[in-house]
Amino acid sequence: MSVFLSCVAGVVVFYLILYYNVFRGGRCTSSAKLTGKTAIVTGSNTGIGKATALDLAKRGARVILACRNQEKAEAAVYDIRRESGSNEVVFMQLDLGSLKSVRSFAETFLKTEPRLDLLINNAGVMGPGRTEDGFGMAFGVNHLGHFLLTNLLLGRLQQCGPSRVVNVAALLHRFGSVDFALLASQKDLVSGGSAWHSVRAYCNSKLCNVLFSRELANRLEGNNVTCFSLHPGVIHTELCRNMSLWQRLLLIPVAKLFFLDPEGGAQTTLHCALQEGIEPLSGRYFFSCALREVGAKGRDDGLARKLWESIASSLETAATSHLNSLWLGWLGSLMIL
């Protein structure tokens, strides 16, 4: 019996050491107050996005919950207002899987909100499917939508500087790659719809997040807008909601034991958004509230520049196609009349 108890005690000690030194992560120590400032947090109706929005609201910021699901977002607004004691928390519709929705959100925001001090690109998905515009789901939501959103709001960020853009990436960016030929031909960075392809697509989209942060920082050098990417840690959130039932059932026990809760997962995001003195590190990558080195591909400035130019070209083509469809529709209505 004593041997059994010793084994149990050893397992518990090993788990605690592993959890507190590997999985738990650092804590944001900034005491910054945000009264009079405005923040956008995408995907903030649940998980680390909601925890991030709550912390910003407690610091006095006006927080815009930019989410696709109105019902869930309005419930999150209620929760955050109640817990923070702030009424400066509002919902604005944003579907990152629709370029039309991203443009509509930006247009509405710029018309109604005079400030933007923090843009936190937090939303992310893992799973198969295509966006409204035909792009792979992970690439379209995790990267393309945020790329367009950031560029549309960049002018307001510059007006209100010093301001920050925070891109929630992942450690899995190290396993990502960018296939420009595939992106041009299939509007995605992977080919196939299996569970493995979904994981690969997620890794690729996170590499894109890291490269985007690097190139944005390069383009804004000497400006009053800084940009950071980060790995939030291994979090038990709704990220895998698009996975099959058996995959989620296998993941739940592991998640309960080892994964961070949303509050813990929000700490590095908050560090990048709030920590004083990290402005010279614009474009860099953080984990556990500390500066970390990214994978070799994530340090490739040539790759970052090429990705930016390729995405800008894709967005220009998509915008032109949209305008052409509107033009043809207008001509058709004239013919009918």
Strands 163-168, 118-121: pairing kind: parallel
* Radius of gyration of the chain from its Cα atoms, rounded to whole angstroms: 21
Return the axis-axis angle of helices 301-336 and 195-219, rounded to nearest 10°: 100
- Side chain identity at residue 176, one-letter code: G
Q: Give the closest residue to 273 by CA, choosing from 21, 37, 88, 36.
A: 37
Reported as half-sphere exposure (CB side, CA atoms, 13 A), residue 191 has a value of 8
**Residue whose tokens read 């979904």:** 198
Q: CB neighbours of 13 closer than 8 A, spacing ≥ 6?
A: none
Rounded-to-integer distance, Cα 269 and Cα 249, Å:
28
**Catalytic residue (choose from 20, 78, 202, 285):** 202
Q: Is 202 a catalytic residue?
A: yes
What is the DSSP secondary structure assignment for residue 134, as one 8-state letter?
Answer: S
DSSP string over 261-288? PHHHHTHHHHHHHH-TT-GGGTT-EEET
Strands (DSSP E) contained in the chain are 38-42, 62-67, 89-93, 118-121, 163-168, 225-231, 285-287, 290-292
Strands (DSSP E) contained in 2-61 are 38-42
- Facing residues of 137 across strands? none
Buried b (16+ CB within 10 A) or exposed e, 211-227: bbbbbbbeebeeeebbb
Q: Tell me which residues are annotated as active site.
A: 202
